[in-house]
């Protein structure tokens, strides 16, 4: 850490930390909002927020939680060979005792860098300036040895990818025990028994035996639980969780969120939860700070941020994410452009170039985080007071009704598709990635395919385009003009494009391969680029010159070049930033609008799938368990798995109430799927003697509606009451 001696050298011209007093005043209210949040009842929670905060607004002395962590005027610069990146410029916030504080932002917003600087984990060429105090003790000036006694002991940290964050050559127990032995001076056997306790506390079944397992023997959710056990081993005051659920499935994400909430309540620790997902934040956070371009845009209690947004960026984010609980009639609002990287000390609002409210002063002065008209709520927008009158900033683009093109004929039909891969070495098992799937895609329509990772949706998509040969079954593609053309858009726009080719060649490749008759290739490429919203001069450049969203546009242009009737999109937006996701989703909708182009849209994000699909198929362990029109599926899911999946989706609204318990356990191994209904091991209403022995067939239960569940009545589609079971 290169921080010694760099403590708070305020550069001239930068604002002084005048908001300290304000922050103290703010603290008085936030304890009350926090406590109200702890109620599981939303009415209760909202009442608490509104009444107490207005009553106590800036009056009483600090009765709220004392600040455990105070970050003041944090600056982080990375001195790269060719430029300086100002990752964080002047972040100031406090985290109270027992509070869950969310740092929200897109990639490059500085949220993770902030967390790493709190931990003192940034290494040169990073330079950290400013003050970070833990219980009043300055951390930035600590010597390495002193800092090590803080890390893991007073602040624990959990990272995004639990697989790569655990050492593959040590047992889980040893990795938990390492913290204990480092800080609590435990011997090997005491550390081991304490590790077993901790694994039990984070919900690992049979911890006594699992303690000697290696990370690769754990499932994704269990690995993240083990990471949490490591972070909490020494009972730290603060837990920093950096995108802890981003790599996990929604059902597992929900388990982890509930686990952290439980642990936080029991231990009364503070949590800094870093994420790009406004849905998860609404679920977990007491206070929220929204970061963009290395600066905090808006900060306040969660209910305030969502209910009384005081920054155009936050409102743009909230409007651009597909919402599972709102209508899908309109296009998503788009934040134009892409997130910024700040390379010089900012002198203007870092968001102004993408802001619909941009005024002259936004370019000439650097807005500070200042109090707004709302209690305990600060904004770094010069015009935050005008935000409410400004009305809807992020208007729906072309909110007209969708025109379905094409003639309803079936373009792709997969019948009895199954794909079995050889299992692990020496075992004679096969992985039943897809295990008997029938589906059809109609012209001009979008079939959404959703499911958790490992359910076989990607394999299904690749089988449809012919990248994988099905073990049994067949794919028929309708012929048109003597050709059958199906194309694919992949998840990762960075690795799915040859870095050595120019964009012109990337896009022209399908034309050449298929020997399409194109009179002027350059004109055709320019036309395709225009269709996906890129300038024609992009043709001469290389993939690395484009951002993720732009590359995904190029990938779409490449697919369109083959003049396909159907494009299989495999997680096309999941690698993109929230604000860019909306652009791609809108683009896909526009391309389809009025044309006969069909999509198979594969994704894990149920809200995104809902936004774009006409029909949705839900997959579980290689099988379609429910298939229905979009509105039927989302408004009245029939299969218990569909219900659980929908209920796991975090809704970006702190007042949203969950209707049921989270789904327990992980996805079973597709090489040994459970007998009977494959879902029965996790199903809340499974009936022993039926669900665990008989395989349910995918049966039609209504028009355009199929369900594979014994408990769904085929005549009047609803779940039958299992004997003595709870009502669904």
Q: Which of 185, 189, 426, 499 binds another protein (CB under 8 A)?
A: 426
| Residue (217 or 325) nearer to another protein, CB | 217
| Residue (169 or 703) nearer to another protein, CB | 169
**Minimum distance from residue 170 beta carbon to another protein (Å):** 8
Mention every residue, 6+ apart, whose C-beta is less than 8 A from residue 393: 312, 315, 316, 319, 356, 357, 387
**Minimum distance from residue 169 beta carbon to another protein (Å):** 5
Residue 109 and residue 293 in contact, taking contact as beta carbons nearer than 8 Å: yes
Establish if 159 lies at the interface with another protein (CB under 8 A).
Answer: yes
Establish if 179 lies at the interface with another protein (CB under 8 A).
Answer: yes
Establish if 575 lies at the interface with another protein (CB under 8 A).
Answer: no
Establish if 13 lies at the interface with another protein (CB under 8 A).
Answer: no
**Minimum distance from residue 120 beta carbon to another protein (Å):** 9
| Residue (182 or 516) nearer to another protein, CB | 182
| Residue (182 or 410) nearer to another protein, CB | 182
Residue 271 and residue 302 in contact, taking contact as beta carbons nearer than 8 Å: no
**Minimum distance from residue 124 beta carbon to another protein (Å):** 10
Residue 628 and residue 615 in contact, taking contact as beta carbons nearer than 8 Å: yes
Establish if 214 lies at the interface with another protein (CB under 8 A).
Answer: yes
Interface pattern 130-149 for another protein (x via CB under 8 A): ------------------xx
Least Cα distance to 416 among 474, 477, 476, 478 occurs for 474
Least Cα distance to 571 among 457, 438, 431 occurs for 457
Site for another protein in 62-121 (CB under 8 A): 119, 121
What phi-psi label fits residue 302: left (phi over 0), alpha (psi between -120 and 50 degrees) or beta?
A: alpha
Establish if 183 lies at the interface with another protein (CB under 8 A).
Answer: yes
Of the candidate spans 34-42, 153-161, 275-283, 717-725, the one that interacts with another protein by CB under 8 A turns out to be: 153-161
**Minimum distance from residue 161 beta carbon to another protein (Å):** 6
**Minimum distance from residue 229 beta carbon to another protein (Å):** 12
Beta pairing class for 566-570 and 598-603: parallel
Establish if 151 lies at the interface with another protein (CB under 8 A).
Answer: yes
Establish if 6 lies at the interface with another protein (CB under 8 A).
Answer: no
Q: Tokens 């802890």 belong to which residue?
A: 244
Instruction: State the maximum Cα–Cα separation within the chain, in Å, rounded to a whole number.
Output: 79
Report how far residue 574's alpha carbon sits from residue 550's, in angstroms, rounded to the nearest whole number: 14
Q: Which of 65, 98, 108, 156 binds another protein (CB under 8 A)?
A: 156
- What b-and-e string marks burial along 534-568, b requiring 16 or more CB atoms within 10 Å of the CB? beeebbeeebeebebbbbbbbbbbbbbbbbbbbbb
Interface pattern 219-248 for another protein (x via CB under 8 A): --------x--xx-----------------
**Minimum distance from residue 257 beta carbon to another protein (Å):** 21
Report how far residue 442's alpha carbon sits from residue 447's, in angstroms, rounded to the nearest whole number: 8
Establish if 161 lies at the interface with another protein (CB under 8 A).
Answer: yes
Report how far residue 291's alpha carbon sits from residue 282's, in angstroms, rounded to the nearest whole number: 16
Least Cα distance to 76 among 45, 110, 39, 47 occurs for 110
**Minimum distance from residue 253 beta carbon to another protein (Å):** 19
- The neighbour count for residue 631, using CB atoms within 10 Å, is 12
Report how far residue 208's alpha carbon sits from residue 10's, in angstroms, rounded to the nearest whole number: 53
| Residue (179 or 446) nearer to another protein, CB | 179
Establish if 182 lies at the interface with another protein (CB under 8 A).
Answer: yes
Q: Which residues bind another protein (CB under 8 A)?
A: 119, 121, 148-153, 156-157, 159, 161, 164-170, 175, 178-179, 182-183, 214, 216-217, 227, 230-231, 425-426
């Amino acid at each position: 850490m290169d921080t010694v001696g760099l403590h708070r050298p305020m550069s001239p011209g930068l604002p002084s930390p005048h908001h300290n007093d304000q922050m103290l005043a703010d603290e008085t209210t936030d304890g009350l909002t926090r406590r109200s949040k702890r109620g599981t009842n939303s009415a209760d929670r909202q009442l608490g927020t509104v009444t107490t905060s207005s009553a106590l607004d800036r009056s009483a002395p600090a009765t709220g939680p004392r600040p455990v962590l105070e970050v003041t005027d944090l600056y982080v610069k990375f001195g790269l060979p060719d430029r300086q990146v100002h990752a964080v410029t002047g972040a100031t916030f406090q985290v109270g005792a027992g509070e869950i504080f969310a740092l929200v932002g897109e990639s490059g917003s500085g949220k993770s860098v902030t967390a790493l600087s709190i931990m003192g984990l940034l290494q040169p060429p990073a330079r950290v300036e400013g003050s970070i105090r833990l219980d009043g003790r300055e951390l930035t000036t600590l010597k390495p040895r002193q800092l090590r006694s803080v890390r893991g002991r007073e602040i624990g940290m959990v990272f995004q990818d639990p697989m790569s964050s655990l050492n593959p050559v040590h047992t889980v127990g040893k990795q938990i025990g390492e913290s204990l032995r480092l800080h609590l001076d435990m011997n090997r056997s005491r550390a081991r028994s304490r590790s077993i306790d901790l694994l039990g506390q984070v919900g690992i079944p049979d911890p006594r035996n699992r303690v000697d397992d290696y990370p690769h023997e754990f499932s994704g959710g269990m690995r993240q639980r083990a990471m949490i056990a490591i972070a909490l081993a020494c009972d730290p005051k603060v837990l920093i969780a950096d995108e802890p659920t981003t790599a996990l499935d929604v059902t597992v994400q929900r388990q982890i969120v509930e686990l952290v909430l439980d642990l936080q309540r029991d231990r009364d620790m503070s949590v800094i939860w870093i994420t790009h997902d406004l849905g998860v934040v609404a679920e977990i956070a007491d206070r929220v700070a929204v970061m963009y371009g290395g600066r905090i845009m808006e900060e306040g209690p969660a209910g305030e941020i969502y209910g009384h947004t005081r920054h155009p960026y936050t409102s743009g984010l909230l409007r651009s994410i597909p919402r599972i609980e709102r209508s899908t009639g309109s296009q998503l609002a788009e934040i134009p452009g892409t997130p910024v990287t700040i390379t010089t000390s900012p002198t203007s609002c870092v968001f102004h170039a993408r802001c619909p409210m941009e005024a002259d002063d936004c370019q000439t002065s650097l807005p500070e985080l200042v109090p707004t008209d709302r209690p305990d709520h600060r904004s770094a927008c010069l015009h935050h007071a005008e935000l409410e009158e400004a009305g809807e900033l992020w208007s729906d683009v072309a909110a007209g009704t969708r025109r379905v093109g094409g003639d309803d004929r079936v373009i792709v039909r997969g019948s009895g598709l199954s794909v079995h891969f050889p299992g692990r070495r020496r075992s004679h098992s096969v992985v039943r990635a897809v295990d008997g799937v029938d589906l059809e895609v109609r012209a001009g329509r979008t079939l959404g395919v959703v499911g958790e990772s490992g359910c076989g949706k990607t394999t299904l998509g690749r089988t449809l385009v012919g990248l994988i040969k099905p073990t049994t079954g067949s794919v028929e593609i309708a012929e048109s003009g003597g050709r059958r053309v199906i194309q694919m858009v992949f998840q990762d726009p960075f690795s799915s494009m040859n870095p050595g080719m120019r964009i012109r060649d990337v896009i022209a490749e399908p034309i050449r391969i298929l020997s399409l008759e194109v009179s002027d290739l350059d004109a055709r490429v320019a036309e395709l680029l225009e269709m996906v919203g890129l300038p024609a001069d992009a043709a001469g450049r290389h993939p690395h010159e484009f951002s993720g969203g732009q590359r995904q546009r190029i990938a779409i242009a490449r697919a369109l070049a083959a003049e396909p009737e159907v494009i299989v999109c495999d997680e096309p937006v999941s690698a993109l930033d929230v604000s860019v996701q909306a652009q791609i989703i809108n683009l896909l909708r526009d391309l389809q609008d009025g044309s006969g182009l069909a999509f198979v849209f594969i994704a894990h994000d149920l809200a995104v799938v809902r936004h774009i699909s006409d029909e949705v198929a839900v997959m579980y362990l290689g099988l379609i368990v429910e298939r229905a029109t979009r509105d039927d599926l989302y408004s009245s899911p029939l299969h218990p798995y569909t219900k659980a999946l929908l209920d796991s989706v975090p809704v970006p609204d702190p007042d949203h109430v969950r209707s049921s318990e989270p789904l327990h356990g992980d996805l079973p191994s597709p090489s040994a799927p459970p007998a009977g209904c494959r879902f029965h091991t996790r199903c809340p209403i499974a009936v022993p003697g039926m669900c665990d022995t008989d395989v349910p067939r995918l049966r039609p239960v209504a028009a355009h509606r199929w369900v594979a569940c014994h408990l769904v009545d085929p005549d009047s589609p609803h779940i039958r009451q299992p004997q003595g079971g709870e009502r669904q």
